[in-house]
């Protein structure tokens, strides 16, 4: 593997080298840290052979090859960054380092990137500031949070292969992929992974990743043991007057009115309904009430009954909205 350092990536290079030393030591296990987007961040110990199995599945699917270029623009502190380093190492690729910020392509002059992984915030910024640079990427995976429909539509205009990913630290990166060029919301399992469901929540069967039966809190519509449609998180479900509402579906509708990553929906306690759909957004945002009424004509139960403006939404270390922490800090519980 050859590491190509771009301007301003000295700290990232040091982090890569530190991880590689840990990878190459005699210990057959390694420590990972979760992002904390759905609870307190935690540390977990996994076997290196499980990480290698994950690398193989991704490599087989995307046909990663020696001397091709992989882009690293996420911190090796978390599993996504570690896995990109390992993919480049195991497949003898060139690892191109880019700033770990909202626009890693901004100052890059490399003409071709064969494989890259980003989060939705990075995609949003690139589409706004220099979308033409996306044409330099051959294959792109996007994970960490759901991709907005507006961004999915925009990405379809570019001649690149783009997939949304489904996974978590416990599964050592993604276990399912959704091609955005297809007009559906179906995630498909990687080769050695299968799915089942319990109480409408996804169960992941990935023994080669150390997870033979991983019960998640992700509510899905299970289509087969290799495919599903993601609905939302069970721990975020709002029970409003007996109607169960997934805030993620409400948020997808609100994307047409509000900028992403600056609002979220949750169920606040209500004497009459039990819980009421409540919108939390940062205080400088403006919501047009007429547009809001029109947006929810077909889904009146989904319409936010209360809007709360706060100075700033709490985020995790890697930029994801931290719902539990924000709610707790505002004493909404």
How does pLDDT run across 26-60, given as a tens digit for each residue? 999 999 987 655 556 678 999 999 999 999 999 99
**Domains of the chain, first to last:** 2-231 (3.40.50.12780), 237-329 (3.30.300.30)
**HSE-CB for 274 with a 13 A CA cutoff:** 9
Q: Mean per-residue pLDDT for 121-133? A: 92
Q: What is the per-residue pLDDT for 41?
A: 65
Candidates 245, 258, 262; CA nearest to 302 is 245
pTM listed for this prediction: 0.83
Encoded tokens for 206 = 């990935």
Instruction: Give the SS3 label for residue 94.
Output: strand
CA pair distance 245, 238, nearest whole angstrom: 5
**DSSP of 277-318, one letter per residue?**
EEEEEETT----HHHHHHHTSS-GGGS-SEEEEES---B-TT
Asked if residue 87 lies in contact with residue 58, where contact means CB atoms within 8 angstroms, the answer is yes
Report how far Cα 211 is from the mean position of its chain's Cα atoms: 20
Encoded tokens for 55 = 């690398």
User: Looking at the predicted structure, is the pLDDT value of residue 332 above 60?
Assistant: no
CA pair distance 131, 34, nearest whole angstrom: 30
CA pair distance 226, 193, nearest whole angstrom: 7
Average pLDDT over the chain reads 91
User: Looking at the predicted structure, is the pLDDT value of residue 318 above 80?
Assistant: no
Asked if residue 291 lies in contact with residue 257, where contact means CB atoms within 8 angstroms, the answer is yes
Q: Which region among 85-99, 203-217, 232-246 has the lowest average model confidence (pLDDT)? A: 232-246
Selection from 155-159, 285-289, 315-319 with the highest mean pLDDT? 155-159
CA pair distance 193, 332, nearest whole angstrom: 39
Band of pLDDT at residue 123, cut at 50, 70 and 90 = very high
Q: What is the per-residue pLDDT for 39?
A: 54
User: pLDDT tens across 212-223, in order?
Assistant: 999 999 999 999
User: pLDDT tens across 254-309, in order?
Assistant: 988 888 778 999 999 988 889 999 999 998 888 888 999 999 988 889 999 999 99
Q: What is the per-residue pLDDT for 16?
A: 95
High-pLDDT (> 70) share of the chain, %: 96
User: Looking at the predicted structure, is the pLDDT value of residue 333 above 60?
Assistant: no
CA pair distance 285, 262, nearest whole angstrom: 9
High-pLDDT (> 90) share of the chain, %: 68
């Amino acid at each position: 593997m050859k590491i190509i350092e771009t301007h301003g990536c000295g700290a990232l290079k040091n982090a890569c080298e530190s991880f590689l030393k840990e990878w190459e030591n005699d210990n057959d296990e390694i420590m990972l840290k979760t992002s904390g987007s759905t609870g307190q961040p935690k540390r977990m110990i996994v076997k290196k052979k499980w990480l290698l199995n994950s690398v193989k599945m991704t490599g087989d699917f995307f046909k990663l090859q020696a001397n091709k270029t992989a882009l690293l623009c996420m911190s090796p502190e978390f599993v996504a960054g570690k896995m990109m380093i390992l993919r480049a190492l195991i497949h003898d690729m060139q690892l191109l380092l880019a700033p770990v910020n909202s626009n890693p392509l901004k100052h890059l002059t490399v003409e071709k990137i064969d494989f890259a992984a980003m989060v939705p915030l990075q995609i949003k910024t690139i589409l706004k500031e220099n979308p033409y640079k996306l044409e330099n990427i051959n294959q792109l995976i996007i994970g960490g949070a759901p991709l907005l429909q507006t961004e999915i539509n925009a990405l379809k205009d570019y001649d690149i292969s783009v997939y949304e990913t489904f996974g978590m630290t416990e599964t050592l990166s993604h276990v399912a992929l959704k091609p955005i060029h297809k007009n559906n919301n179906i995630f498909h399992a990687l080769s050695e992974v299968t799915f089942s469901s319990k109480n409408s929540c996804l169960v992941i069967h990935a023994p080669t990743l150390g997870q033979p039966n991983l019960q998640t809190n992700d509510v899905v519509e299970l289509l087969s043991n290799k495919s599903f449609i993601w609905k939302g998180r069970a721990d975020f479900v709002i029970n409003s007057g007996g109607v169960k509402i997934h805030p993620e579906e409400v948020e997808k509708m609100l994307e047409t009115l509000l900028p992403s990553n600056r609002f979220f929906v949750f169920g606040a306690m209500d004497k009459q309904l039990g819980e009421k759909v409540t919108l939390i957004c940062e205080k400088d945002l403006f919501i047009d009430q007429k547009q809001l009424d029109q947006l929810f004509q077909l889904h009146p139960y989904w319409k936010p009954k209360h809007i709360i403006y706060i100075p700033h939404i709490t985020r995790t270390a890697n930029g994801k909205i931290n719902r539990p922490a924000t709610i707790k800090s505002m004493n909404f519980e």
